[in-house]
Structure 1
Amino acid sequence: MMNKDYSRHKVLMVDDEANLLDSHRRLLRNVFDVHTALGGEAALEKLEKEGPFVVAVTDIKMPTMSGIELLGKIKELYPSTIRMVLTGYADLEMAISVVNRGDIFRFLTKPCAIEDLTNAIIAGIDQFKMTQASQELAIMRRLNDGLEGTLQAFTRLVEFRDPYTAGHMERTSKLAVLIAERINLPEEKIHGLELAARVHDIGKIAVPAGILNKPGTLNDAEFALIKAHPLVGADIFQTLDTEWPISRIIVEHHERLDGSGYPNGITKESILIESKILSVADVIDAIMTHRPYRKILGANEAIRFLNEMKGSCFDVQCAESGISILQEENIYSEEAF
């Protein structure tokens, strides 16, 4: 238990015996960041001026303000502080009552061996850290729910303007997840990839609809506008505060291993694995669906193309996973999408 470093965690010891507080400070100062307060009122003043404290340990019987009253105020004012009692045998029944009301984490009786006191405070610090981690996780979940709602709103925005692009992003997202699962990408990375894939063509909102839906061949100027869409999309999400590299995945989804992709012509290991997966899913959906300038080419053509381009343009493992999905699953049935 003592192999962890607890020295940065602030612990407040409260008692009306100055000698006992001095002893606690001397014996515990090499393990924790120990502060002491002579009585309840001094403890509240120290909490206000020097807090927050991770753990507060108090006696029960003290003049002016009892430990019971102090614990109640700490619970109200500093609910995240772990509250503990160190009391005499005569106060045992009272301490048990406090425990049963949920006001404290643990109680100890005087005299208390320094090892027992140390271990109890360590348990309190661990409880504090576990509670903080749980709260942070809950916050992250709320943020992620908000993020997913934001991304869905962007998808709907594109759908109103260009229904094909919105449908393409949704299908490509599902394909990307299937490929990621086959190459054993960690679950958290898969979730970030799924979110990025759902908006990977969001930059096309800056491309005139006439160009997006042009039935013939694009001229150089028109194609230059199309090629700018990863940069536009990445810029939209550049300031998005998220644990996943959504902006980077968006900007890289048309990059190729040999540097022939766009917009930056980066190569091989410079490209995120999530981007490599998305590029394969993106090209599969492009071949497997109708485009304004051509009809559906079908699974055989998608397989042929991936076999031809794997290792040069596309990551081999990602491309082969995409091929196996096309061979084994009827992914473009009405039930699949």
Structure 2
Amino acid sequence: MTGRAAHENVPVLLVDDEPKVLDAHRRTLRGRFDLHTAQGGKAALEVLADHGPFTVVVTDFKMPDMDGISLLARVAELYPDTVRMILTGYADMDTAIRAVNTGAIFRFLTKPSAPDDLAMAIGAGIEHAEMVRDARKLEIVHRLKDGFEQTLRAFTRLVEFRDPYTSGHMDRTADIAVMIAERMGMAEDDVAGLRLAAMVHDIGKVAVPSHLLNKQGELSDAEFTVIKAHAEVGAEIFKGLGVVWPIARMIREHHERLDGSGYPLGLTGDEMLPQSKVLAVADVIDAIITHRPYRRGLGKDEVVGYLLEGKETLFDPQVVDIALSLMDEERIREPGS
């Protein structure tokens, strides 16, 4: 959002030792910003202490009690995020260089300055402050993501101690899911969340007795019911996690199928997240081609046949087509091949 209305609530401080100049600023800039004024540098510091911080501070250069450069140097020390500008009639090069070097000045403006020019300069300062703030938030998000990934990897160790296959399977499934999602053109942040969810999608198996995870031969209906609970258990582990990605939901939905034949909720079609549809296919691919305690891994033909048979009924057709293309390109391969 740009323009006058976008900045009307942004706090801006104008400093000058001449009351008539401040009166003129108040008249011409009224309604454009949340405008505050101070007569002189010392008064400005008092206003900053009482009402700061301000997004932008614009000050006259030559003032009797404290010059503008000294004031902005103090502002930089107390409020480093505040955008600082000099407005003066003494516009010589030495002053400009000193202002930039001493107070890290964003703009050096000369008197007389037309109201619209001053407003545009202040608006540019506000936008600069917002970009700096957004960049800082992005850096924090990246750090949180990195730390969160390490936390998730620690969770996978819980399963690895009981079932080494499951941990390797989750990592491989994450790799496959990311390749599919990127080929689909999924948003970068959605891909990031999908990768994290895939890394822990079977975490609920910590609640499944190890003898069932490694059982030779077919499972009874009762045993399979216990194993199916892992999707719900895993979702509960990550419920209310407080992250931007719907990780718990992807964990819960990774065994759902388009026609409602999946578990635990029997969801259909659009009731599933797009990321869950990708995870479902990636999970099946690795489960088929990987060696299990009770059977050797099956080949590529088995995967292709199963996906084509389930296309449009069990699995999203676009996801299947992309997965098959990646297999043809040998980007998805059998472990060890």
CA contact (8 A) 2:300 2:334 kept: no
Deviates more, 1:110-119 or 1:177-186: 177-186
Q: Does 1:278 align with 2:276?
A: no
Tell me: CA distance 1:34–1:73, structure 2 relative to 1, closer, same or farther (3 Å).
same
Q: 1:83-162 maps to which residues of 2 (within 5 A)?
A: 83-89=84-90, 93-162=94-163
- Residue type of the partner of 1:183? M
Paired residues of 1:257 and 1:311 also in contact (CA < 8 A): yes
Worse-matched range after superposition: 92-101 or 121-130: 92-101
TM-score by length of 1: 0.93
| Aligned residue number for residue 220 of structure 1 | 221
Distance in 2, Cα, partners of 1:90 & 1:279:
66
Q: Aligned-pair distance for 1:104?
A: 1.3
Q: Which segment is superposed worse, 222-231 or 286-295?
A: 286-295
Distance 1:157 1:314 in 2: 30
- Would you say the 8 A contact 1:254–1:262 is kept in 2? yes
1:96-155: CA deviation from partner (whole Å, max 9, x where unpaired):
311133531111122211122112111111111111111111111111111111112112
Counterpart for residue 62 of structure 1: 63
Query: Post-superposition shift, 1:48?
Result: 2.2
The 10-residue stretch of structure 1 (37-46 or 273-282) with the greater mean CA deviation from structure 2: 37-46
8 A Cα contact 2:61 2:69, kept in partner? yes
Residue 325 of structure 1 and its aligned partner are, at CA, apart by 2.7
Equivalences for 1:254-333 in 2 at 5 Å? Answer: 254-329=255-330, 331-333=332-334
8 A contact 2:290–2:334 mirrored in 1: no
What is aligned with 2:189? Answer: 188
Aligned structure 1 segments of 4 or more residues deviating by more than 6 angstroms: none
The unaligned stretches of length 5 or more in structure 2 are none
Q: Distance in 1 between matches of 2:229 and 2:206?
A: 11
SS in 2 for 1:200: coil
What residue ranges of structure 1 are gaps of 5+ in the alignment? none
Q: Does the aligned pair in 2 maintain the 1:197–1:250 contact within 8 Å?
A: yes
> Would the aligned equivalents of 2:61 and 2:68 in 1 still touch at CA under 8 Å?
yes
Residue 335 and residue 20 in structure 1: after superposition, are their counterparts in 2 closer, same or farther (change >3 A)?
farther
Within-5 A mapping of 1:211-250? 211-250=212-251
Helix, strand or coil at the partner of 1:332: coil
Are the structure 2 counterparts of residues 58 and 31 from structure 1 closer, same or farther at C-alpha, using a change threshold of 3 Å?
A: same
In 1, the alpha carbon distance for the partners of 2:40 and 2:20 equals 13
Cα distance in 2 for residues equivalent to 1:122 and 1:248: 42
Residue identity matched to 1:328: E
User: TM-score under structure 2 normalisation?
Assistant: 0.93
User: How many residue pairs were aligned?
Assistant: 336
Q: 1:330 to 1:21 in 2, by over 3 A?
A: closer
**Percent identity over paired residues:** 57
Partner of 2:201: 200
Task: Provide the rounded CA distance (Å) in 1 between the counterparts of 2:226 and 2:104.
Answer: 64
Q: Report the CA distance between 1:273 and its aligned residue.
A: 0.8
Q: What is the deviation of 1:83?
A: 0.6
* Rounded Cα–Cα distance in structure 2 between residues aligned with 1:88 and 1:208: 81
Cα deviation for residue 79 of structure 1 reads 0.4
CA distance in 2, matches of 1:158, 1:224: 19
Q: Distance in 2 between matches of 1:183 and 1:124?
A: 39
Q: What residue number does 1:209 align with?
A: 210
Q: Please name the residue that 2:72 is paired with.
A: 71
Indicate the RMSD between aligned Cα atoms, in angstroms.
Answer: 2.0
Whole-angstrom CA distance in 1 between matches of 2:334 and 2:230: 29
Contact 2:69 2:102 in 1 (8 A): no
Aligned 8 A contact 1:86 1:109 in 2: yes
- Please tell me whether the aligned partners of residues 151 and 199 of structure 1 are also in contact (alpha carbons under 8 angstroms): yes
Q: Distance in 1 between matches of 2:131 and 2:18?
A: 32
Is the partner of 1:101 in helix, strand or coil? Answer: helix
Query: CA 1:221–1:48 in structure 2 vs 1: closer, same or farther (change >3 Å)?
Result: farther
Contact 2:76 2:103 in 1 (8 A): no
- CA positional deviation for 1:172: 0.9
Following superposition, the deviation at residue 91 of structure 1 comes to 7.0
Q: CA contact under 8 A between 1:92 and 1:109: conserved in structure 2?
A: no
Q: Which amino acid is 1:32 matched to?
A: F
Secondary structure of the equivalent of 1:12? Answer: strand
